[in-house]
Chains A and B, each alone.
Chain A
Amino acid sequence: MKAVFISFNQAYQYAIVQIMDRNNLRGYTYWETVQGRGTKTGEPHYGSHAWPTLNGAILTMIDAEKVDNFLNLLHELDKKTEALGLRAFVWNVEKSI
């Protein structure tokens, strides 16, 4: 099991959930609005007057063998519209119930 944390421009939410559905990735936790900024490029997403856009975040636990394909699909999505901003991070799940 791996944990995948996806932080993305709100506008991606629908597309990401669609990808997950298509790949049989059922469970996830979704935060509708989170704030943040990228390490290198991209505009901050603060939902403020200066930076009005907001991020959403999804935390999903998936089987290790599905991770690569999922990340590739996400990367493809990001490539298509780089201006919006989408990042995903993966780490191990030690235990679960």
Chain B
Amino acid sequence: MSIYSAAVKKPVTTALIFVAVVIIGIFSLTRLAVDLLPEIESNVILVMTAYPGASSSDIETNVSRPLENSLNSVSDLKNITSMSRENMSIVMMEFEYGADIDVATNDVRDNLEMVKSMLPDDAESPVIFKFGTENIPILLLSVTAEESTNALYKILDDQVANPLARISGVGAVSISGTPVREVQVYCDPYKLEAYGMTIEAISSIISQENRNTPAGSIDIGSNTYSLRVQGEFTDSKQLLDLVLGSQNGKTIYLRDIARIDDTVAERAQEVYNNGTRGGMIVIQKQSGANSVNIAKSVHAKLPEIQAGLPSDVKLGVIVDTSTNITNTINSLIETIIITFLIVMLVVFVFLGRWRATFIIVLTIPISLIAAFAYLYASGNTLNIISLSSLSIAIGMVVDDAIVVLENITTHIERGSNPKQAAVHATNEVSLSVIASTLTMLAVFLPLTMTSGIAGILFKQLGWIVSIIMIVSTLAALTLTPMLSSQMLRLNLKKGKLYMLFFTPIEKALDALDHFYSKFLHWSVRHRKTVIFGAFMIFAAVMLLVPTIKTEFFPTQDNARIGVTIELPVGTRQEITRDLAVQINSEFTEKYPEIDVINFSEGQADSDNTFAQLSSSGTNIISFNISLSSVEERERGLLEICELMRKDLDQYSEIKKFQVQAGGSTGGMGGETSVDIEIYGYDFEATDAMAQNIAAKMRNYKVVSQVDISREDYIPEYQVDFDREKLAINGLNVTTASMYLRNRINGSTASQYREEGDEYDIRVRYAPEFRQSLEDIENIILYNAMGNGVRIRDLGVVVERMNPPTIERKNRERVITVSAIVAADAALSDVVAAANSEMRAMQMPSDITWQIGGTYETQQETFADLAGLSVLIIILVFIVMAAQFESLVDPFVIMFSIPFAAVGVVLGLSITQTPLGVMALIGAIMLLGIVVKNGIVLIDYTILCRERGMSVLTAVVTAGKSRLRPVLMTTLTTVLGMLPLALGTGEGSEMWRSMGMTVAWGLAVSTMITLVIVPVVYSVFAANGIKRRRRAIRKSVMRKQQTRLEMVNN
């Protein structure tokens, strides 16, 4: 018994099986997490090696190079880059996407073991650091406070950061902009000298005084008591009364030499939210945790936290990455619903019966919901890719059901009992339904085998569409006949309403049938003209190919902007702050679209995990800007960024700035840039090249910003000690520099404890005594004999330019000039500009260049996808050849593929959409979709011929009879793509080009396929007949000849 007769005979079982599928799907849906993209495992490993005291070129030769040479042999390694700066070598290894990073980490560790012995003795052990998505902050909270400002750090640490860090999935919670309390012991160097004291001595006295010591136990009478000395300070003021020693019989107190400021750390990052000073809390997630869930829990926790805070401390949200995710997903869900309605409408218009429409449309939710079960079982999330796969599939899942239902209706109209009709009609079409599903699988299953970044993205798409197609075919073969047998009745009478609505539609479709059959009749009799015409159309449209621009991924408008502004190194924090406030107010005024603007400047604290990963300093300002949502504003993200760049250009004091659309989220959807990598050993030569090309690139309109990776030489003061003089005075460089450090940076003497928290007690020169070079030169160092010598007698203080970080890529020194693509330009424009400028440039023979960055990834992905299309075409051909048991027929059907390309090129060129990965995926899907029309046509033509018609009559009859099914399935797919192609919601940039490609490609290819495939078929069929006739004639002749010979003999 076949499955369809079983299904018809057991309607309850069949219905309940699908109900079960739906329930499992819905159950999975409620448990699915939401995310923007499928999980992308990090593919970067950093190896950090400290070599204290070495200059950047020492580091390069002695640390970075040996490491690179050894690590280069790790498998799956794509690029190896290194940064050698003073004291530190950072080797960054980028692996192929999809490589097992744990295996790679082990390989790296093994290699490091081997190379360790080759590193300098003083170099510390290399540390492996995996950089992953967990390092991207998912939530930035703002904190404003009035009275509580000085205690803010403690309040936030205890009452906000700790509870937040306990939420599952939350990684690090860092607090910025709130200085940490510190007890400062500011000494006067003159008094120190007068009393013969040193910073070191004071430090050690403080540390010895500030101590609790347990003294053991003592038995008194029948009891045992423990004995303790509680020496710790209970108030910072007690420090003033410390006795340091005595001179001339007088006791020296600390208050004689120093003052105590119980205040905050001197250098701290300052944060402003919407123009007012406050703090910022950065929340990072744990690796693999779900951003949306975490953001939800954090939001749920915030009111509770807020209630426990002092009344003047207010928490707010600066950036919430989950809003963008939620909005994007919501706009996709909206798209899916619209698509569903459109498809339903198309089916209803063509069939004109609500029962039939219901049966067909029912397969959509069933197969889509089944896909959720797959997502849940495979641990995936609801994301752009999985949801747009659903949207793509909607138009295609109804095809099988339509074919089955149409045949059942024919049988019923011929007089069969619905039950019998359902079984036999399904039996008749089951093979062709399965074959057409197989062609779709031939397209979508190979997608699951792609490598690289495309593989990660499209693996889900491939699986989901494949699963949906399989479920929908199963539903078409069981549920559709079952429902048809229960619901369809022979009903020749039609209602008045039906007549009113459907008579015009019926008439229009009849007219279309008539026109098409006439045109086909003419075409098959003018084969040469038609084929020539089609070829001309193909050639003419292919001339448009050079006008198509290419890109990697479209920039997504996620309403976030990150701005980093760098002033000359060494700019005082006050000056930086003034400028930041000025820019802040200018931005707020000029761009009413800004929802939240937050900036931070100043040196970040070393225990701030987030700040450590980004650069900070007294000269660096970083802005985080959140705009209102896309629907609410007229200016796009890129447009606003461009205007901001123009604004920042006006400030002459800014050395360097970077406006990053999309914030510092990294990954897909950010702004695209073209990296020109210039390789060469000579600093000066490559610097000059980089400056030159940067200047030229800035002149292009398609470029909105140009950055050079190599930093400028940094000015700094260095104290050059004379070793001989040091030796004479019984000192060495280490002790001398320690003295220097303790006086300027301060020495942490001890910890002051209060309410369970510890604060540093820092002893150093008072700020007014460390403001000039003389102050430094006057610092007195004491040797072991207690004799003081001033620094100016031991060496000189000189200003030097410190060489920048040495960057290397793939074992060569490199300098990268990155050009950011302007709002209305595409990646290919900038690549073309860069190529022409670089080629025009005079270049020394030892300097080479190449274009990397997004362009490199784009080229790799495009090559991957091109290889994939070839594989898919071969597979589709095999499936069709098996179905027709012929090599010629599938070849004829393949003629629709070039015309799909015509549609794609036409669409991209007319709408000026750049060809990116998404559009290419759309084109690949087309390979499967367009041949389906050809299959339907050719299948029926063969049937007509088998029924004894001549080739030409068969072609025309088949065309006329199959026009409606072809138009119907095409319309459901094309109109189903329209909501994707025309979407304006948040995140719609991502799938717009894909929807557009499929809609255009399928529409144009269907129109041409309807003519060219029958015509080409008739050519091949006519040739086949001629060949057969010739063969018959030959064999007849041969027989006659043999007979003649026999007679003659």
Specify the main secondary structure of chain B where it touches its partner.
helix
Cβ < 8 Å to B, chain A residues 10-53: 10-15, 48-53
- Whether the Cβ atoms of B947 and A14 lie closer than 8 Å is no
Asked if B416 is at the interface of the complex by the 8 Å CB criterion, the answer is yes
Contacts A10-B420, A53-B424 given: A83-B414 contact, CB under 8 Å? yes
- Whether the Cβ atoms of B417 and A49 lie closer than 8 Å is no
- Whether the Cβ atoms of A11 and B417 lie closer than 8 Å is yes
Partner of A11, one of B411, B943, B947: B411
- Encoded as 1 (CB less than 8 Å from any A CB) or 0, chain B from 404 to 439 comes to 000000010011110111001001100000000000
Minimum distance in angstroms from A9 CB to a CB of chain B: 8
- Whether the Cβ atoms of B420 and A49 lie closer than 8 Å is no
- Whether the Cβ atoms of B943 and A50 lie closer than 8 Å is yes
Asked if A69 is at the interface of the complex by the 8 Å CB criterion, the answer is no
Asked if A81 is at the interface of the complex by the 8 Å CB criterion, the answer is yes
Minimum distance in angstroms from B603 CB to a CB of chain A: 80
Chain A residues within an 8 Å CB radius of B611: none
Chain B residues within an 8 Å CB radius of A11: 411, 415-417, 420-421, 424
Contacts A10-B420, A53-B428 given: A81-B946 contact, CB under 8 Å? no
Minimum distance in angstroms from A86 CB to a CB of chain B: 10
Asked if A95 is at the interface of the complex by the 8 Å CB criterion, the answer is no
- Whether the Cβ atoms of A81 and B414 lie closer than 8 Å is yes
Partner of B943, one of A13, A49, A82: A49
Chain A residues within an 8 Å CB radius of B943: 49-50
Partner of A49, one of B415, B419, B942: B942
Minimum distance in angstroms from B446 CB to a CB of chain A: 29
Asked if A84 is at the interface of the complex by the 8 Å CB criterion, the answer is yes
- Whether the Cβ atoms of B419 and A14 lie closer than 8 Å is yes
- Whether the Cβ atoms of A13 and B428 lie closer than 8 Å is no
What is the CA–CA distance of A81 and B416 in the complex, to the nearest angstrom? 8
- Nearest CB to that of A77 among chain B residues? B415
- Whether the Cβ atoms of B947 and A51 lie closer than 8 Å is yes
- Nearest CB to that of B432 among chain A residues? A49
Contacts A50-B943, A52-B428, A53-B428 given: A83-B420 contact, CB under 8 Å? no
- Whether the Cβ atoms of A83 and B415 lie closer than 8 Å is yes
Most B-side CB within 10 Å, residue of A14, A52, A54, A82: A52
Chain A residues within an 8 Å CB radius of B416: 9, 11, 81, 84
Chain B residues within an 8 Å CB radius of A10: 420, 424
Chain B residues within an 8 Å CB radius of A81: 414-416
Tell me the count of chain B residues lying within 8 A, CB to CB, of chain A: 16
Contacts A48-B946, A50-B946 given: A14-B420 contact, CB under 8 Å? yes
What is the CA–CA distance of A82 and B942 in the complex, to the nearest angstrom? 26
Minimum distance in angstroms from A76 CB to a CB of chain B: 13
What is the CA–CA distance of A84 and B414 in the complex, to the nearest angstrom? 6
Chain B residues within an 8 Å CB radius of A52: 427-428
- Whether the Cβ atoms of B415 and A14 lie closer than 8 Å is no
Partner of B417, one of A15, A50, A51: A15
What is the CA–CA distance of A45 and B909 in the complex, to the nearest angstrom? 52
What is the CA–CA distance of A82 and B421 in the complex, to the nearest angstrom? 15
Chain B residues within an 8 Å CB radius of A51: 946-947
Interface range on chain A (Cβ under 8 Å from partner) = 10 to 19
- Encoded as 1 (CB less than 8 Å from any A CB) or 0, chain B from 925 to 952 comes to 0000000000000000011101100000
- Whether the Cβ atoms of B415 and A84 lie closer than 8 Å is yes
Chain B residues within an 8 Å CB radius of A54: 424
- Whether the Cβ atoms of B417 and A14 lie closer than 8 Å is yes
Minimum distance in angstroms from A35 CB to a CB of chain B: 14
- Nearest CB to that of B414 among chain A residues? A83
Chain A residues within an 8 Å CB radius of B420: 10-14
What is the CA–CA distance of A15 and B419 in the complex, to the nearest angstrom? 11
Chain A residues within an 8 Å CB radius of B421: 11
Minimum distance in angstroms from B421 CB to a CB of chain A: 6
Chain A residues within an 8 Å CB radius of B427: 52
Chain B residues within an 8 Å CB radius of A83: 414-415
What is the CA–CA distance of A84 and B412 in the complex, to the nearest angstrom? 10
Minimum distance in angstroms from A19 CB to a CB of chain B: 13
Minimum distance in angstroms from B883 CB to a CB of chain A: 10
Contacts A10-B424, A14-B420 given: A80-B415 contact, CB under 8 Å? yes
What is the CA–CA distance of A51 and B946 in the complex, to the nearest angstrom? 9
- Encoded as 1 (CB less than 8 Å from any B CB) or 0, chain A from 46 to 85 comes to 0011111110000000000000000000000000111110
Cβ < 8 Å to A, chain B residues 426-459: 427-428
What is the CA–CA distance of A83 and B490 in the complex, to the nearest angstrom? 14
Minimum distance in angstroms from B303 CB to a CB of chain A: 68
Chain B residues within an 8 Å CB radius of A48: 946
- Nearest CB to that of B407 among chain A residues? A52
Minimum distance in angstroms from B780 CB to a CB of chain A: 105
- Encoded as 1 (CB less than 8 Å from any A CB) or 0, chain B from 902 to 925 comes to 000000000000000000000000
Minimum distance in angstroms from A47 CB to a CB of chain B: 9
What is the CA–CA distance of A51 and B419 in the complex, to the nearest angstrom? 21
What is the CA–CA distance of A11 and B946 in the complex, to the nearest angstrom? 24
Cβ < 8 Å to A, chain B residues 944-997: 944, 946-947
What is the CA–CA distance of A10 and B5 in the complex, to the nearest angstrom? 13
What is the CA–CA distance of A82 and B416 in the complex, to the nearest angstrom? 10
- Nearest CB to that of B943 among chain A residues? A50
Chain B residues within an 8 Å CB radius of A84: 414-416
What is the CA–CA distance of A31 and B421 in the complex, to the nearest angstrom? 19
What is the CA–CA distance of A52 and B421 in the complex, to the nearest angstrom? 13
Minimum distance in angstroms from B881 CB to a CB of chain A: 15
Minimum distance in angstroms from A45 CB to a CB of chain B: 11
Chain A residues within an 8 Å CB radius of B942: 49-50
Chain B residues within an 8 Å CB radius of A9: 416
What is the CA–CA distance of A54 and B419 in the complex, to the nearest angstrom? 16
What is the CA–CA distance of A71 and B946 in the complex, to the nearest angstrom? 34
What is the CA–CA distance of A82 and B415 in the complex, to the nearest angstrom? 8
- Nearest CB to that of A9 among chain B residues? B416
What is the CA–CA distance of A83 and B420 in the complex, to the nearest angstrom? 15
Minimum distance in angstroms from B6 CB to a CB of chain A: 15
Most B-side CB within 10 Å, residue of A15, A54, A81, A82: A81
Most A-side CB within 10 Å, residue of B414, B419, B947: B414
What is the CA–CA distance of A15 and B417 in the complex, to the nearest angstrom? 9
Minimum distance in angstroms from A48 CB to a CB of chain B: 7
What is the CA–CA distance of A53 and B417 in the complex, to the nearest angstrom? 15
- Whether the Cβ atoms of B424 and A49 lie closer than 8 Å is no
- Nearest CB to that of A13 among chain B residues? B420
Cβ < 8 Å to A, chain B residues 310-324: none
- Nearest CB to that of B942 among chain A residues? A49
What is the CA–CA distance of A53 and B415 in the complex, to the nearest angstrom? 14
Minimum distance in angstroms from A10 CB to a CB of chain B: 6
What is the CA–CA distance of A10 and B414 in the complex, to the nearest angstrom? 13
What is the CA–CA distance of A15 and B418 in the complex, to the nearest angstrom? 12
- Nearest 8 pairs of A and B residues by beta carbon: A81-B415, A50-B946, A11-B416, A52-B428, A11-B420, A83-B414, A50-B947, A50-B943
A to B CB contacts below 8 Å, 9 in the list: A11-B415, A11-B417, A11-B421, A14-B420, A50-B946, A50-B947, A51-B946, A80-B415, A82-B415
Additional A-B contacts beyond A50-B944, A50-B946, A81-B414 (15; CB < 8 A): A9-B416, A11-B415, A11-B421, A12-B420, A13-B420, A14-B419, A14-B420, A49-B946, A50-B942, A50-B947, A53-B424, A54-B424, A80-B415, A83-B414, A84-B416
